[in-house]
Amino acid sequence: MIKQFTCILFLSLSFSASAWWDTAHKMVCSEAYELLSISEQKIIDPLVADEGSFALACLWADFIKRERKETGAWHYINLPENQQNTFDARCPENGCLIKAFYDQLAVLKDSKSNFKARQEALWFVGHFVGDIHQPMHVGFPEDLGGNRHQLQLEDGSKSNMHKVWDGQIIEYAESVMGKDQFHQGVREKITMLLDQPQPSQIEVWAQESRDLAMSDSVGYRGNTLEFASTDYMQQHIDITQERIALAAIRLSQALSSSFAANK
């Protein structure tokens, strides 16, 4: 009975392609903000005032890439099949997520950077930390990080691997759990993971995403997954919540380090 109800909900969903960079990006940045000290929040507040909140500011990077085309490649790092180690990855001339993160973090740390530069750097960093924790942002170049890996959903509609991981798992989770419960699950994972040592290198975060993308469970490698069922969505809710939680913790730590460097 529960499975039938779940299936009906799934079939009735009208998935948007923006759930990750709306829901997840906002959660990453809002939860990271809450983990910062009051003094650190006061540093952020004027830098995000134009957008209304840090959560909303973290969406800006996806909108600005339409106008500033050169920033488009900053949202991902694609590795071929024969190169699985993200530490060995080399950015193309137009840049990549790893280089862009370090470049913008350097601007944020530089006390000589002007207000506008630090403002944009903060918005970029917040967004990039979210991106690197989504496994399809560390995918294969030939299929554009899963965008060309076509999938069928349970209602017969078409999707692709990138879209499923960029938002459809989240939308499915919110439809069957409720938004509040999904978000609460992320917060519980933050509480559970907060005291664990976290790597500060984005290459490590990227490697986690790459390893997840290559796992048998995901079905990306070798295009083994063809049908993204409700069971598939359900199976990957927990790891999606964990990636959001880890991104929030690591973002807060990266920002704390940056603000300390400016003192």
pLDDT tens per residue, range 227-254: 999 999 999 999 999 999 999 999 999 9
Confidence of residue 262 (pLDDT cuts 50, 70, 90): confident
Structural contact between residues 36 and 257, judged by C-beta atoms closer than 8 angstroms:
no
Order of strands across the sheet with 158-160? 158-160, 150-153, 227-228
Global confidence as pTM: 0.92
**pLDDT at residue 22 in the model:** 87
Question: Does 16 have pLDDT greater than 70?
Answer: no
Kindly state the tokens that stand for 142.
């030939």
Every domain of the chain and the residues it spans: 25-261
pLDDT tens per residue, range 114-167: 999 999 999 999 999 999 999 999 999 999 999 999 999 999 999 999 999 999
Structural contact between residues 134 and 243, judged by C-beta atoms closer than 8 angstroms:
yes
List, as one string, the DSSP characters of 137-188: GG--TTTTTTTTSEEEETTS-EEEHHHIIIIIHHHHHHHHH-HHHHHHHHHH
* Burial track 120-158 (b if 16+ CB lie within 10 A, e otherwise): bbbbbbbbbbbbbbbbbbbbbeebebbeebebebbeeee
Is residue 72 packed enough to be buried (19+ CB in 10 Å), middle (13-18) or exposed (0-12)? middle
Mean pLDDT of 32-45: 98
**pLDDT at residue 21 in the model:** 58
Closest CA to 141 of 150, 133, 149: 149
Question: Does 11 have pLDDT greater than 90?
Answer: no
Distance CA 253, CA 190 (A): 13
- CA dihedral 199→125→206→248, nearest 10 degrees, is 60
Beta strands per DSSP E along the chain: 150-153, 158-160, 227-228
* Domain at 25-261, CATH from 3.30.450.40, 3.40.50.150, 1.10.575.10, 3.30.930.10: 1.10.575.10
Q: How far apart are the first and last CA of the chain?
A: 59
pLDDT tens per residue, range 79-105: 999 999 999 988 988 999 999 999 999
What is the greatest pairwise CA distance in the chain? 62
The rounded mean pLDDT for the chain is 91
**pLDDT at residue 261 in the model:** 77
Question: Does 18 have pLDDT greater than 70?
Answer: no
